[in-house]
């Protein structure tokens, strides 16, 4: 199967702006940043996305996310940070190697670019609907 662009970055076939590396994880600047300092964190072990990721790989990423998020935030005194993670094309995934977006957020007056607009339109549900959803999901955890 054809390597993804992130596997090519890991294999040093194409360049990247490295931010962090250990035995399991690599982090680098997103080359199409939506805010200043937008950073990607990826596992060295390949998985397509969250669905086929083993728990050790997830743990390795989870261990370094706070450290990298803190560095990204403090570098330009960000006003906040969003962490995004897209799985499958319909959810916005375009590179099929698991990755986490660390996206620092800036108020307008900061002078740093922040082109992100988040829309989060909530839906009202009845208690019975919550209970059905809860049961369905918890059953799938078993």
Question: Active-site residue 101, yes or no?
Answer: no
Question: What would the x/- binding string for ligand AMP be over residues 61 to 90, using CB under 6 A?
Answer: -------------------------x----
Q: Does 3 bind ligand AMP (CB under 6 A)?
A: no
Examine residue 92 and tell whether it contacts ligand AMP (CB under 6 A). Answer: yes
DSSP type of residue 123:
-
What is the CA 31 to chain-centroid distance, rounded? 15
* Interface stretch with ligand AMP, choices 27-35, 52-60, 64-72, 108-116 (CB under 6 A): 27-35
- Applying CB under 6 A, does 94 fall inside the site for ligand AMP? yes
Task: Report which of 61, 49, 55, 52 is spatially closest to residue 24, judged by C-alpha positions.
Answer: 61
Contact 94, 80 (CB under 8 A): no
Site for ligand AMP contains 110 (CB under 6 A): no
Residue 26 to residues 80, 110, 127, Cα–Cα distance (Å): 22, 29, 43
What residue ranges bind ligand AMP (CB under 6 A)? 5, 16, 30-32, 40, 86, 92-95
């Amino acid at each position: 199967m054809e390597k993804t662009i992130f596997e090519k970055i890991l294999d040093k076939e194409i360049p990247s702006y490295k931010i962090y590396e250990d035995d399991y994880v690599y982090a680098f600047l997103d080359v199409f940043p939506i805010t200043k300092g937008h950073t990607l964190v990826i596992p060295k072990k390949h998985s397509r996305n969250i669905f086929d990721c083993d728990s050790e790989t997830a743990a390795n990423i989870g261990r370094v996310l706070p450290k990298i998020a803190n560095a990204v935030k403090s570098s330009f005194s960000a006003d906040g940070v969003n962490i995004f993670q897209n799985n499958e094309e319909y959810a916005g995934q375009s590179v099929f190697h698991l990755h986490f977006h660390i996206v620092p957020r800036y108020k307008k007056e900061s002078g740093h670019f922040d082109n992100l607009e988040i829309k989060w339109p909530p839906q009202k549900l009845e208690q019975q609907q919550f209970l059905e959803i809860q049961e369905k999901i918890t059953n799938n955890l078993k």
